[in-house]
Amino acid sequence: MEQLSPRALNRATLARQLLLDRADLPAITAIERLAGLQAQAPDSSYVGLWSRLRDFQVDELAKPLAAREAVRMTLMRGTVHLVTAADGLALWPTLKPVVERGFLGHYSREVAGLDLAAVAEAGRALIAERPRTRAEIRAALAPRWPDADQPTLGYAVNSLLPLAHVTPRGLWGQTGPAAFALLEDWVGEPITDGVSLDDLVLRYLGAFGPATVRDAQVWSGLTRLKEVFERLRARLITFTDVEGKELFDLPGAPRPDPETPAPPRFLPEYDNVLLSHADRVRVIPDGRRVPLPPGNGGRRGTLLVDGEFLAIWAIKGATLTIESREPLQDQDSIAEEGARLLEFVVPDSEHDIRFGIGG
């Protein structure tokens, strides 16, 4: 069985994630191909798509969000993702157990003795009237459950129902409270029967492969996927990594030469390319933590140099600061890409780029 080095895995994943060469794709098509983008910070996906799509402009995402063709909602790993409306409707039934399990694991003590089904139905009726913030949800439900932990009531509704984060929050340059609507009402279509586990694994491999069974489980939050991979084995090809772990992949998926150049790429905070494998050595060779800074996103993140996470970046005013643990190679190319990032984030300003040691 052919062995793939971390560098070979790096180049394969970068290619799937559109980070070797920017793609000429509509944003909505890219979101689907990428199997969603991590989107806790509402503006982060704009930078994520800017790094992946040629000549990307803000309206290419803002318009589908405003038209409800794309949504931010809780899905993989129980975290907020940007997905197409069609994917949101299809993925929710399959990933609902992941979201519920994460909630129950975190709030097990607070929900003891609480009728969660009744809480969810009361929340559904409330949100069906109009979008509500989490604070509004818990305030409305508290009189019915006066002895319950009030924050838990809000999180229960968020975790037990398919909810879309409503605009204007998530539209570049606009602000608004984190408010939620029922997904079906927001996009005007019903929840589907769900994506099969087979199809979910194939989607994952297309966006992040080659990968192990455990990698797919970490990305999705689902467990016991080994039988799914075994069922699909005849349709897949296999490799090993340098530690001998079995890797699965789609036969026709790109696996570029490991020596393929990887240009510097500015990623938003908590980008999926850094989070979607159990073994992250292909993109984080030193095992550093992936930061999730506060704020709306779009002005902080991580920097890939030769395909590896080696620095963090932040924009304050019109100044881009890049901090790394060691001096970075090829700072001219990084600065050129940084100048393009500044023009995207803060156009029509006098820009400055600074390198420092830290991070």
What's the pLDDT tens digit per position in 177-222? 899 999 999 999 999 998 999 999 999 999 999 999 999 999 999 9
pLDDT reported for residue 120: 97
Residues 41 and 183 in one domain: yes
Q: What is the CA radius of gyration of the chain?
A: 21
Identify the CA nearest to 269 among candidates 308, 331, 313, 319. 313
Contacts of 184 (CB under 8 A, 6+ apart): 89, 162, 190, 191
Pick the last residue of a domain from 187, 222, 240.
187
Q: Distance between CA 238 and CA 229 in Å, rounded?
A: 11
Distance separating alpha carbons of residues 228 and 343, to the nearest angstrom: 45
276 is a domain residue: yes
Cβ count within 10 A of residue 343: 13
Q: Is 278 helix (H, G, I), strand (E, B) or coil?
A: coil
Q: What span, in angstroms and rounded, lies between the C-alpha atoms of 131 and 137?
A: 10
Residues 292 and 181 in one domain: no
Q: Does 44 map to a domain?
A: yes
Q: Which residues of the chain have pLDDT under 50?
A: none
343 found inside a domain: yes
Task: Answer with the one of 187, 213, 241 that is the final residue of a domain.
Answer: 187
d(CA 157, CA 164): 12
- The per-residue pLDDT for 174 is 87
Whole-number pLDDT of residue 176 = 83
Distance, in Å, from the CA atom of 10 to the CA atom of 13, rounded to the nearest integer, reads 5
Q: Which domain holds residue 347?
A: 265-357
Pairing outcome for strands 319-324 and 352-357:
parallel
Do residues 182 and 38 both lie within one domain? yes
Distance between CA atoms of residues 30 and 112, nearest Å: 42
Token pair listed for 195: 């994506």
Q: What is residue 295's predicted lDDT score, i.e. its pLDDT?
A: 84
H or E element: which one contains 10? helix 6-16
Strands 308-316 and 300-305: antiparallel
Alpha-carbon span 300 to 321, nearest angstrom: 9
- Residue 286 lies inside a defined structural domain of this protein: yes
Which residue is listed with tokens 């129902």? 161
Task: Give residue 227's pLDDT.
Answer: 98
Which amino acid does the sequence have at 67? A
Strand partners, 211: 248
Q: Which amino acid is at 311?
A: A
Q: Write down which residue in 164, 187, 210 finishes a domain.
A: 187
Q: Within 13 A of 201's CA, how many CA atoms are on the CB side?
A: 28
42 residue type, one letter = P
Question: How many domains does the chain contain in total?
Answer: 2
Is pTM beyond 0.85? Reply is yes
d(CA 267, CA 45): 9
Look at residue 203 and tell me if it is in a domain. Answer: no
